[in-house]
A and B are shown apart, each in its own frame.
Chain A
Amino acid sequence: MAHRFSLSETATESGVRRLLSKGRARLVAAHVPASWLGTIELVWAEALNNIAEHAYAGLEPGKVHIDVAIEEFGVSARIRDRGRPLPGLEVPVAQLPESACPVESLPEGGFGWFLINDLCESVIYQRQNGENQLSLIIHPKEHTA
């Protein structure tokens, strides 16, 4: 049977930090392998930062919830917020920004959705009853070192 936990925070930069810190502690307590933690924290950080920076941009920051299930082969998380929907109601197409270019043209952003898509086994987005629901399944073994 999967080990489950849920956490909530206000979707601000400091709220995201707290959520990641609590989430990591819960994963450690559930004996998730240490080699998985970096990948999981990075994926969650990118998804949560998007909510703080974009979904609630210009709005009073609302809550963000994460429901986590730890399985034998990985970790799945459903992240929910009541901010603005993703444009086009879909997971953004995430191409790696061009890096073979002069220094002054190097990208300073646009990596977030690329990392989420690259590191997740599955990324599913739904908008339901005014709520964004992003389901992320990570099988970290395929991404260690």
Chain B
Amino acid sequence: MDLQSTETNNTLIITVNEARIDASAAIRFKDSMRALTESGPAKAVLDLSQVTFVDSSGLGAIVASMKQLRSGQQLDLAGLTPDVAKVFRLTRMDSVFVIHDSIESMTRQAAG
């Protein structure tokens, strides 16, 4: 799974460089997320702005990525495209995550 991570202001930003988190990507996604979050900052944000499709397996893998965090660690989401936002809304998983409009709006808020 093509995930890219950068650390700014004590926040780990993980960018998904693929268009789909679906059944065939779910396990690779979860494993890559574990590798990226098992050390490093207590706050991580998953940038989904390039992801246009998430199915229930992909949704489950994103939830699993939060459940496998270290104690006290946090995972937010950012940049949900319309169809992805809809899956979170229909399943009420939008109430489980802190969701930012974009990485830019989140860092601007933190700076302001």
Residues of A participating in the B interface, judged by any CB pair closer than 8 Å: 13-14, 16-17, 38-39, 41-42, 45-46, 49, 52-53, 96-97, 99-100, 103-104, 106-109, 111-112, 114-115, 118-119, 143, 145
Complex CA distance for A92 and B22, rounded to whole angstroms: 21
| CB within 8 Å for A114 and B55 given contacts A108-B63, A145-B82 | no
**Complex contacts, A38 vs chain B, CB 8 Å:** 53, 82-83, 86
CB-CB nearest 4 A-B residue pairs: A38-B83, A13-B24, A111-B56, A108-B60
A134, chain B: closest CB distance, angstroms: 16
Contact present for B23 and A13 (CB under 8 Å): yes
**Complex contacts, A111 vs chain B, CB 8 Å:** 56, 59-60, 91
A60, chain B: closest CB distance, angstroms: 19
Contact present for B67 and A115 (CB under 8 Å): no
Complex CA distance for A96 and B91, rounded to whole angstroms: 7
**Complex contacts, A42 vs chain B, CB 8 Å:** 53, 55, 83, 86-87
Known: A49-B22, A108-B64, A111-B91. 7 other contacts (CB 8 A): A17-B20, A49-B55, A99-B92, A100-B95, A106-B66, A108-B61, A111-B60
Residue of B nearest to A112 (CB): B56
B111 in contact (CB, < 8 A): no
Complex CA distance for A8 and B36, rounded to whole angstroms: 38
Residue of A nearest to B65 (CB): A108
Residue of A nearest to B64 (CB): A108
**Complex contacts, A104 vs chain B, CB 8 Å:** 67
Residue of B nearest to A53 (CB): B23
Complex CA distance for A49 and B24, rounded to whole angstroms: 9
Complex CA distance for A16 and B22, rounded to whole angstroms: 10
A59, chain B: closest CB distance, angstroms: 17
| CB within 8 Å for A52 and B93 given contacts A38-B86, A46-B55, A112-B56 | no
Interface residues of B in 52-106 (CB under 8 A from A): 53, 55-57, 59-61, 63-64, 66-67, 82-83, 86-87, 90-93, 95-96
